[in-house]
Structure 1
Amino acid sequence: MSFPFHGKEFVFVQPDGTELKVRGWGDQYNARFETLDGHPVVLNSETGFYEYAEIDKTGEEVAPMGVRAGGAVPKRLRSGARKPTRSAKNRTRSQIISDLPRGTTRWEERRQQKRTTLRRAMITSEVAAAPPPQGTIGTYVGLCLLVQFPDVHGTITQQEVEEFCNKPGYNGFGNNGSVYDYFFENSLGKMKYTNVVAPYYTAKNKRSYYTDEKVTQPRRTLELIKEALDDLTAKGFDFSALSTDDQGYVYALNVFYAGPCVNRWAKGLWPHSSSLDSPYTLTQDAKAYDYQITNMGDQLTLGTFCHENGHMVCDFPDLYDYDSDSEGIGVYCLMCAGGAVQGADTNPTQICAYLKNAAGWGTTRTIASGQTFKARAGKNEFFIHKKDNNEYFIIENRFQEGRDSLLTDSGLAVWHVDHLGSNDNQQGTPARHYECALMQADGKKNLEKSQNVGDSKDLFRQGNGTKFGAKTKPNSKWWNKKASGLEISAIGAAGKEITFTAK
């Protein structure tokens, strides 16, 4: 999956045709898998089979043990019951790192340019906006390709895909609205995002040609996308409506292919996002580069599509931990596990205050001492306390209903932001910390410890953390351990409106 997955079930077809049912944790770059009864498995690159993973006496070293997964569990695994430590689980993942290139997409280039500008401003004391300017306001149009194969035809119509992408109030396949609805509602109408959905293209070769696991990913994917674009170009397709950045790059190229995903992780047409090997010229002023591809199967769902377009159109970063030894900000944002937990594929949670504010979708009030504030859920009303243009606390009200119905808690979400941090860094030290961290009201740091993706004690509210300041746990200190001066108390009961007072 291009989107992160947490305990999701997959069926892998082994080289001899047998099916292996597993649960997986990870994303398109790193992943670990277990059998449904909890035994770690790892790919043996020499045989091509997933095998039971052998764990040494320290619980640290993990390697394929020469016994194909899915058959009888080796006696020493049944009796020994040694479980890998967290670092061992990371080694399991490291043995199946994908071949996809990192950091080559246009959206990542744009994001890096903004971070570079911010660093320069900090060094030279130049004035820079907080957050860095990257507003996503107005009308945006992406391109959606539909691909079928001579032996596997699409079963979902072009019109259905158009409605999934663009129709206000869409509810097909149990989705909570269309892609357009999701971004329109998260932005309170400031972003209107639609897709031009092209007619089905029938690939030159049978599906097995593109899903061949002996060919390094994404080689055949790139071939398939180029075929489809060549076909549209030859037929005079009108690309003029597509939105481009200041360098002429089309923001989003979405590709749906017919049928189920028949590949194992990071092989063949396994769903992923990346960039073409070189920009593809669509018009004199527009070129395609960034893309995401996924199978349609027999349904369309919002989670992955919205997450990947959050990257491509809004330049939103991933806020989960790439090596999965922490949970980032969990279920509390689309760009983490907000579309990956059960049920969220058709109703992904909202985008967090940090990213909404960065996109220009909210209103912010500075938290001034001696004042009482009222925060309304779903209104993009944010409350901010700044150290400088890079680091600050931003607060919002989240309530379990509608697009946030799958949250694990309701109340004030207090975010600690450092634009130059990384959500790979759960250590919480001055040098290594998250870009965006949720200050969990119970002080247990379950997200950083990879113990869950959210629970009922995460948000501040009456009965669960009514104060947040220098001496509370968690505290309001900056990452350098100095007092920030932020002191809030008298936090009210969870609800569509919640009040708090700044000392």
Structure 2
Amino acid sequence: KIISYTINGDEFISWATSLDGYTLLGNSNGDIVYAVINETGQMVKSNVLACDYQYRTIEDNIFLSTIKKGLFYNSSQIERFEQNRAQLYSDNSQNNTPTTGTPNFLVILVSFTDIPFNSANATTMQNQISQSNYTTSGATGSVKDYFFDNSMGLLNANFTVVGPYTLSHNQAYYGAETEYDHDSLPREMIAEACSLANPNVNFANFDNDNDGTVDMIHVIYAGRGQHNGGGTNAIWAHSWTLPTLPSFDGVNVYRYSCSNELRTTTSVDGIGTICHEMGHVLGLPDFYDTDYEGSGGQSIHLGNWDLMASGSYNNSSRTPPYLSALERQILGWLTPVTLTASTSNCTLPAISDSNKAYKVVLSENEFFMFEHRNKKRWDAYTPAKGMLVFHGDNNLINPWLTSRINDINDDPFDRGYFIIPASGDSTNINSTSTTFPGSTNQTTFINSTLKNGTSTGKALTGIAYGADSVITFSYVNNTPTITILPPTNITTTTATLNGNVTGSGITSKGFEYRVLGTANFTQQAVTSNPLQLTLNNLSINTTYEYRIYATTSFGTIYSPIETFSTDCGLIINPPFTETFDASLSCWNQTSSDTNHFNVVTSGTSPSCSPHSGAKMLKYNSYNIYDNNWTALFTPKINFNSNNSYNVNFWIYRTNGTYSSQQEGIEIYLSSSQTLNSATLIGFISNDRTATPSISSDGWYNYTCSLPASTTGNNYLIFKAISGYGYNIYIDDISITQITINTPTISYNSTTNITHNSATFNASFTQGAQTISSKGFKYKSQNDANWTTLQNSSTTSPFTGNVTNLNPNTTYYVKSYITTQTNNYESAIDTFITLPIISPIVSTDTATLNNSLSAILYGTYTQGTYSILTSGFQYKKSNSSTWTTLYQTTNNPAFSNTINNLDPNTTYQYKAFVSNITALFYGETKSFTTPVIPQTVTTNQASNITATTATLNGTITAGSETITSQGFEYKLASSSTWTTITATLNGNVITQNLT
């Protein structure tokens, strides 16, 4: 069996991917197997050998039906890998390796007991590392040349290459994988290599700054590395430190780097990996995503532009790109020119010829860096020539400089150093339109923002090539912000251009437009903002270019150029099919360069005939550099909201040496003939091994569905993207329609009505469309606007509870359903909220316990609101102050006892209750306490003699005042009483009779 795969990762995290997208891992036998997810969610090795699809057995395909493509390590595994990275880099203290002068650097070649280092390769390796002006076999230069050129002569290292020496163990001993380490004992290999070289090397000569540590040791081991197909027992090229410090000739070995002898089974590896790993020793971080799918996914990084990203592999590792301005700054070779005030006539030589770059500080931590790349010498295999604009964030760069934290571009949503492409979105970093002016002739850099989206107000204008291939531009420190928006209202002869211009110091603004391919723009000023300009008397079925301009005292700033095409007068009503056997009438195109689809009768590279009829479309991607493109726009298509639609077309798919899975057709939907704001709805590669794969070359029918929200007039866009592979052929584009069942919605009833609340009840049937929201809308009879009450359930029937209604009010209510295309509503229903009912309070007749105590009684009926308090108030009838008694509990019939009353006194009283709105009283009633009479007791007379006696008695006062007291006495035989008054002493009364 044969397996073809790509290797991904680095010395900490790695995996492989089959051509059709399955994740692969290597086992200890050197076999490549499919990855699976185990019961704990971790990605592990299966026991099934991987192979290309054409060699798979029935058993293989049954197994593959049980796993997904694109598997990856889970978060716990990534965390462990990152712990390993952090541990090794935390030991890698701040760099002291000299980056200027003529330091001595040591390279040691080693063999394994089972893999010898080829002697001829050893000579080649020695030469391509240490020679000056090395050009053997078409080489761009040596390692020595690379660092000399990038430093502009500041670093002229003397490389000593020794060996090869044979290590004491086989490759697997040093390089076999463990669960979380790709290599078992690579640092033991380094220490042993130094011991083997010690008899022939004076290590003290390589401590250039006399700090007791060797400055640069690079070991090249026999065979391939794990990173270029050497297998799981091979060592992945890396740069680490030794855990213990072996000492030779009085100096320690601490920091090192290493790489492999071979790139393929027979070809010597180029210098790219050596320069990358030595770059770490010199002090450079990685600029690729070092945790890959961790931290939110794969980041877009510096790619082929940068040695410390993936540029080390340019031209089979023979031509790594020039170091960026930031990297040169880190190594002390470049100090960027910082722009502050607006400046005209800035000149920027290529970084191949100078150590000049410009920098604009945006905030405390963010900045732009501008550098010029020219496709010569070390940049010969970069994607394009022109000026690159980098956006940097010191919050993520400085941790490397201070602590060797190597995660500058890990988070795709928070990158530390990245390219802002001249055209396209953030993914367009490896094409001819990445640079300024580039293939799209972008002469301005405007509308830039901080990472949080805040406008910077900084701009470059007049970006152009001057004499001697020097880029010139003007810097504007406080520029207007220009936003160009898609055109609207496009007809056969009219169109409306739209945009915004904001900022100060603008003396004029407006649009410029011209027919595509003509030289001169027509300028039309617009005074309003947002900008809007309706163009009349345009030519039918014609493509126009347009841009916004804004003039300030510093000059005129332009937006990027956009295009639109006037209608041809044709509106297509699906279903329809286009076979391309006639001309491309009403089908317009735009492209990244001058290449477009052409109608042909036969095809080459690959050889093919039209799918049907006599003609088909061809995009000449076989001869067009990768990431260039053309976009084909259909005539205007009228889509009915009650239908769903599929787009179908045939594409010829092949596979060969130059195949690229990124080459193919993207399908977009747009309301205008522009890619600006268009919606991507599908992609199919012309590489037949890409998903969905097919077993042999031939025509393939690709289908994608239009969004359910598609309605009204729109355009389909077929964007062919070159991978510099094989020509792209398509044929027989068609749109089919499917009538869909629409949902229904019914309002059922209103229940649980109170004075301020109610429950709405409704039901629905879903139909064929996806329901995005549903609920109720209601308003009072006198309101103009409806209030929406959403319901999140997925079942029918459904309810909604509404509160804060007004009492005794008529309301309208209806239910609704919203899909991606329409809003459906029920008939309107009405209901009336209840009125507010006040509580009714009764003061009942009191009862007297005695002259000093009474029991008060009351009752209430609650009404609308709950009773908060209840009780009584009472007072003497001649008083104005009421005393309040609260009940401990609220009951409809209640009573309370009052004591310490005054006798013979009239009291008034009333019951009360309160709710959230007010205090409510019953009627006021009264009662009078009774009189307390005096108690008079006649006691036995005392001191009786023949002529005298003392009369005795007691008097207890009642509630009335005593006005007189005394005794009455008479002879027993007499009928006449004699009254005498006496003095009351306390409650005792006496009187002496004589």
Residue of structure 2 equivalent to 1:320? 288
1:406-485 correspondence to structure 2 within 5 Å: 406-421=381-396, 422-428=407-413, 433-446=414-427, 454-461=430-437, 463-469=440-446, 471=447, 475=448, 477-485=449-457
8 A contact 2:174–2:183 mirrored in 1: no
Residue of structure 1 equivalent to 2:983? none
1:243-282 correspondence to structure 2 within 5 Å: 243=207, 247-261=211-225, 267-282=233-248
8 A contact 2:299–2:412 mirrored in 1: no
Measured in 2, the distance between the counterparts of 1:454 and 1:149 equals 39
1:34 Cα shift?
1.8
Instruction: Report how many residues are paired.
Output: 441
Measured in 2, the distance between the counterparts of 1:261 and 1:425 equals 24
Which residue, out of 216, 223, 226, partners 2:191?
226
1:184-263 correspondence to structure 2 within 5 Å: 184-207=148-171, 209-210=173-174, 212=176, 218-233=183-198, 235=199, 237-243=201-207, 247-261=211-225
Residue of structure 2 equivalent to 1:309? 278
The TM-score, its normalising length taken from structure 1, stands at: 0.76
Residue of structure 1 equivalent to 2:347? 374
The TM-score, its normalising length taken from structure 2, stands at: 0.40
Do the aligned partners of residues 446 and 268 (structure 1) sit closer, same or farther apart at CA in structure 2, a change above 3 Å counting? same
Matched residue SS, 1:394:
strand
Q: Name the structure, 1 or 2, with higher relative contact order (CA <8 Å, separation 6+).
A: 1
Measured in 2, the distance between the counterparts of 1:281 and 1:98 equals 30
1:423 Cα shift?
3.2
Which residue, out of 325, 329, 332, partners 1:357?
329
Is 1:486 the counterpart of 2:458? The answer is yes
1:247 Cα shift?
4.8
Residue of structure 1 equivalent to 2:147? 183
8 A contact 1:32–1:93 mirrored in 2: no
Do the aligned partners of residues 339 and 97 (structure 1) sit closer, same or farther apart at CA in structure 2, a change above 3 Å counting? farther
8 A contact 1:468–1:487 mirrored in 2: yes
1:265 Cα shift?
5.3
Do the aligned partners of residues 258 and 62 (structure 1) sit closer, same or farther apart at CA in structure 2, a change above 3 Å counting? closer
Greater Cα offset, 359-368 or 91-100:
91-100
Matched residue SS, 1:381:
coil
8 A contact 1:253–1:290 mirrored in 2: yes
1:28-67 correspondence to structure 2 within 5 Å: 28-42=11-25, 50-53=32-35, 67=48
* Matched letter for residue 252 of structure 1: M
* Matched letter for residue 281 of structure 2: M
Residue of structure 1 equivalent to 2:110? 147
* Matched letter for residue 94 of structure 2: R
1:135-167 deviation line (CA, Å, top 9, x unaligned):
832223221111124554322355443322121
Measured in 2, the distance between the counterparts of 1:252 and 1:93 equals 35
Residue of structure 2 equivalent to 1:4? none
* Matched letter for residue 336 of structure 2: T
8 A contact 1:100–1:274 mirrored in 2: no
Matched residue SS, 2:17:
strand
1:123-142 correspondence to structure 2 within 5 Å: 136-142=99-105
Residue of structure 2 equivalent to 1:25? 8
Matched residue SS, 2:245:
strand
Which residue, out of 256, 281, 284, partners 2:250?
284
8 A contact 1:31–1:97 mirrored in 2: no
1:65 Cα shift?
5.9
* Matched letter for residue 330 of structure 1: G
8 A contact 1:165–1:194 mirrored in 2: no
Matched residue SS, 2:119:
coil
Measured in 2, the distance between the counterparts of 1:412 and 1:243 equals 39
* Matched letter for residue 488 of structure 1: L
Measured in 1, the distance between the counterparts of 2:98 and 2:104 equals 16
Matched residue SS, 1:241:
helix
Aligned-residue Cα RMSD (Å) equals: 3.7
1:69 Cα shift?
1.4
Measured in 2, the distance between the counterparts of 1:445 and 1:77 equals 38
1:300 Cα shift?
3.9
Which residue, out of 46, 61, 72, partners 1:75?
61
Unaligned stretches of 5+ residues in structure 1 = 1-17, 114-133, 448-452
Measured in 2, the distance between the counterparts of 1:224 and 1:303 equals 22
Greater Cα offset, 315-324 or 260-269:
260-269
Residue of structure 2 equivalent to 1:110? 94
1:226 Cα shift?
2.4
Measured in 2, the distance between the counterparts of 1:261 and 1:438 equals 30
1:251 Cα shift?
2.8
8 A contact 1:23–1:33 mirrored in 2: yes
Do the aligned partners of residues 409 and 110 (structure 1) sit closer, same or farther apart at CA in structure 2, a change above 3 Å counting? same
Greater Cα offset, 252-261 or 391-400:
252-261
Do the aligned partners of residues 273 and 253 (structure 1) sit closer, same or farther apart at CA in structure 2, a change above 3 Å counting? same
Do the aligned partners of residues 80 and 435 (structure 1) sit closer, same or farther apart at CA in structure 2, a change above 3 Å counting? same
Matched residue SS, 2:206:
coil
Greater Cα offset, 90-99 or 183-192:
90-99
1:286 Cα shift?
4.1
Residue of structure 2 equivalent to 1:128? none
Greater Cα offset, 258-267 or 491-500:
258-267
* Matched letter for residue 353 of structure 1: A
Do the aligned partners of residues 249 and 153 (structure 1) sit closer, same or farther apart at CA in structure 2, a change above 3 Å counting? same
1:5-60 deviation line (CA, Å, top 9, x unaligned):
xxxxxxxxxxxxx8754212222222231224443324579x9964334689xxx9
1:424 Cα shift?
3.1
Do the aligned partners of residues 318 and 286 (structure 1) sit closer, same or farther apart at CA in structure 2, a change above 3 Å counting? same
Is 1:330 the counterpart of 2:303? The answer is yes
1:358-401 deviation line (CA, Å, top 9, x unaligned):
22323532323041212111222111112467432111111222
8 A contact 2:269–2:317 mirrored in 1: no
Residue of structure 2 equivalent to 1:386? 361
Do the aligned partners of residues 77 and 258 (structure 1) sit closer, same or farther apart at CA in structure 2, a change above 3 Å counting? same
Measured in 1, the distance between the counterparts of 2:347 and 2:250 equals 51
Measured in 1, the distance between the counterparts of 2:419 and 2:67 equals 35
* Matched letter for residue 29 of structure 1: F
8 A contact 1:395–1:414 mirrored in 2: yes
Residue of structure 1 equivalent to 2:375? 400
Percent sequence identity over matched residues?
24
Do the aligned partners of residues 187 and 93 (structure 1) sit closer, same or farther apart at CA in structure 2, a change above 3 Å counting? farther
Do the aligned partners of residues 364 and 63 (structure 1) sit closer, same or farther apart at CA in structure 2, a change above 3 Å counting? closer
1:303 Cα shift?
0.6
* Matched letter for residue 116 of structure 2: H
Is 1:167 the counterpart of 2:128? The answer is no
Greater Cα offset, 288-297 or 274-283:
288-297
Measured in 1, the distance between the counterparts of 2:411 and 2:196 equals 47
Structure 1 or 2: more strand by fraction: 2
Do the aligned partners of residues 203 and 31 (structure 1) sit closer, same or farther apart at CA in structure 2, a change above 3 Å counting? closer
1:106 Cα shift?
7.9
1:481 Cα shift?
4.2
Do the aligned partners of residues 232 and 106 (structure 1) sit closer, same or farther apart at CA in structure 2, a change above 3 Å counting? farther
Do the aligned partners of residues 166 and 61 (structure 1) sit closer, same or farther apart at CA in structure 2, a change above 3 Å counting? closer
Which structure: larger Rg?
2
Do the aligned partners of residues 162 and 49 (structure 1) sit closer, same or farther apart at CA in structure 2, a change above 3 Å counting? closer
Matched residue SS, 1:446:
coil
